[in-house]
């Protein structure tokens, strides 16, 4: 059992139903988890679906937490949040009410298929890298590179616009205790 908290990064995505309500509900559930302390939540992005069948656009964001338990406890918490929003997923990379991925857990690297760290496709996804960078301009994807460098590479390679995203200034996720922003 770990006694110290580890900084961990979770990515949240939704492209079915009331997407922003689902993301806020997921944030609330995740930060209420045992041994989980919220650190930051990113801005919200409207993102084109990457991979999978034709489907609606996603809202994506990143939640940074300090987690006291083992990495798999955080995965279980992420999966329980998905279940709470009755995630329905019939095809790989298809539409879903809620997807929560563990992007990084401290500096750990692990190729366990049940929980691969960092997430095996995080370095290829602007919808993960952009919001993560917003929360921490110095962020580094363990075993790979600074997030800013990875994002620049993804954007440069994205000639077809599959990775395009747009910040939703009109939407905002809140951590518990944060005041409603006026104006
Ligand atoms: N870092 C990780 N975060 C979340 N799940 C992971 C991770 N590494 C491995 N997995 C495993 O991947 C399995 C499939 O995850 P999931 O259904 O969320 O994939 P997906 O969201 O459709 O696609 P992707 O993995 O590309 O995001 C899970 O059962 C989980 O055990
Ligand atoms: N834009 C976007 N595309 C995706 C997403 C996602 O969250 N956002 N999640 C996927 C599987 O995890 C596959 N494709």
Over residues 27-43, the mean pLDDT reads 97
Instruction: Please name which ligand lies nearest the alpha carbon of 102.
Output: 1
Contact, 165 vs 72, CB < 8 A? Answer: no
Q: Which residue numbers are catalytic?
A: 87, 96, 99, 101
Q: Name which residue sits closest to atom 13 of ligand 1, judged by CA.
A: 114
Contact, 105 vs 73, CB < 8 A? Answer: no
DSSP structure class, residue 110: B
| Sequence-distant (≥ 6) Cβ neighbours of residue 156 within 8 angstroms | none
Hey, what domains does the chain have and what are their CATH numbers? 6-167 (3.30.70.560)
Over residues 12-38, the mean pLDDT reads 96
Task: Check pocket membership of 131 for ligand 2, CB cut-off 6 A.
Answer: no
Over residues 153-175, the mean pLDDT reads 96
Task: Check pocket membership of 76 for ligand 1, CB cut-off 6 A.
Answer: no
Q: How confident is the model at residue 183 (pLDDT cuts 50, 70, 90)?
A: very low
Q: Are strands 58-67 and 145-146 parallel, antiparallel or unpaired?
A: unpaired
Residue 168 has pLDDT above 60, yes or no: yes
Task: Check pocket membership of 45 for ligand 2, CB cut-off 6 A.
Answer: no
Tokens 């190729």 sit at which residue? 111
ipTM of the complex: 0.97
Q: pLDDT tens for residues 39-54?
A: 999 999 999 999 888 8
Question: Sign (positive/negative) of CA torsion 62, 134, 34, 106?
Answer: positive
User: What pLDDT is stored for residue 51 in this prediction?
Assistant: 87
């Amino acid at each position: 059992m770990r006694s110290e908290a580890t900084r961990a990064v979770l990515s949240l995505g939704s492209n079915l139903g009331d997407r922003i309500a689902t993301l806020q509900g997921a944030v609330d559930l995740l930060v209420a988890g045992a041994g989980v302390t919220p650190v930051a939540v990113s801005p919200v992005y409207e993102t084109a679906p990457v991979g999978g069948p034709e489907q609606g656009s996603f809202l994506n964001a990143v939640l940074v937490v300090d987690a006291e338990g083992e990495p798999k406890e955080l995965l279980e918490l992420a999966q329980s949040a998905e279940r709470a929003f009755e995630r329905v997923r019939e095809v790989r990379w298809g539409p879903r009410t809620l997807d929560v991925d563990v992007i990084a857990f401290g500096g750990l690297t692990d190729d366990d298929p049940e929980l691969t760290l960092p997430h095996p496709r995080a370095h290829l996804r602007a919808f993960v890298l952009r919001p993560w960078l917003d929360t921490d301009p110095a962020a580094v994807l363990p075993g790979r590179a600074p997030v800013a460098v990875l994002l620049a590479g993804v954007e440069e390679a994205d000639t077809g616009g599959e990775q395009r995203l747009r910040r939703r200034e009109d939407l905002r996720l809140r951590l518990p205790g944060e005041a409603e922003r006026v104006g």
